[in-house]
Amino acid sequence: MARVWLRLEGLLLALAALVAYGAAGGGWAAFIVFFVLPDGIGLVPFALAARGTGGRWPRDRLRPAGTGGRRRRGAQDAQPLVAPRWFLLYNAAHSTALPLLLALLGWWATGRVYLPLLGWLTHIGLDRALGLGLKLYPYLRSTHLQLEEAPLRPRW
């Protein structure tokens, strides 16, 4: 039930930002650029990592170190496919905190809000409405809204 409320919250954020932008009468080209920008920032590292694996994501999202390309599930020496800093970059681009902080700083400094930031908030809200949230390291499909991959368990 909580997932439904979180998705509804995202949908309302997207609609509110879209209506606010339309009411302000801003140019739609800048809105579209800022709407696409979070994926441009956040997904580039993941695309580069996939390119390093021949364009195919490994089944369990891990690349074993020193196994000559063979994948062993649950191997002790398995390294995550993407470094934690890239998850941080993706999550920063898909968090409401950064565009809201930039909007508040703009309002404080100039008395105005840079309207294309509403495009960024629309993107974030739409992602939440679709069930896409902040990524949980090291799982590429699991988000703060849903856990799709089983957590790694250490071998004792």
Residue 53 CB neighbour total at 10 angstroms: 12
Q: pTM of the full predicted structure?
A: 0.72
What is the residue extent of each domain of the chain? 2-67+76-143
End-to-end, the C-alpha distance of the chain in Å comes to: 36
Residue 93 CB neighbour total at 10 angstroms: 19
Kindly give the confidence (pLDDT) of every residue in the chain, 156 residues in length, as a single tens digit, with 9 standing for 90 and above.
778 888 999 999 999 999 999 999 888 999 999 999 998 887 777 777 666 655 454 544 444 445 455 555 554 444 556 677 788 888 888 899 999 999 999 999 998 888 889 999 999 999 999 988 888 777 666 677 766 666 565 554
* Rounded Cα distance, 117 and 17, in Å: 9
